[in-house]
Amino acid sequence: MSSADFAADEQALFAVQHALLIISEAAQKLGPQAADLCPTVPWPEIRGLGNRLRHEYDSINIERLWLVIQRDLPALKLAVTSALTDLGNGP
């Protein structure tokens, strides 16, 4: 999907925003343990994104969401997968 297709697809936008809310809530629940498990991940920014999605939903920049998907989520997935493997619970 291109960024233009993403911006035009309300269902994709809603799904991504919802998934990011879940990720930010999980980061909240992990608390300080998150930084211990994945020290390279910018946990405060992830938590902050959730707050923006919840409270500033009417002014979300779709291009920034696209950048999060393309640039930030792959690195987050890699860090979390590595942490789970280290804990003996992962793939």
Distance CA 68, CA 62 (A): 10
Segment 35-50, tens digit of pLDDT = 888 888 998 998 899 8
Q: Is the pLDDT of residue 4 over 90?
A: yes
Q: Rounded to an integer, what distance in angstroms lies between the CA atom of residue 34 and that of residue 11?
A: 30
Say which residue the tokens 């999980």 belong to: 26
Each residue's pLDDT tens digit, 78-87: 888 888 887 7
C-alpha to C-alpha distance for 89 and 91, rounded to whole angstroms: 7
Which pair of structure tokens corresponds to residue 55?
A: 């409270």
CB-based contacts of 57, cutoff 8 Å, min separation 6: 17
Residue 50 parent element (H or E): helix 43-55
Q: Given this model, what pLDDT does residue 18 score?
A: 94
Name the residue ranges covered by the structural domains of the chain.
3-86
* pLDDT mean across residues, the chain: 88
Tell me: the pLDDT tens digits for 15-69?
999 999 998 898 888 888 888 888 889 989 988 998 899 998 888 899 999 999 9
What the block records as the tokens of 89 is 């619970």
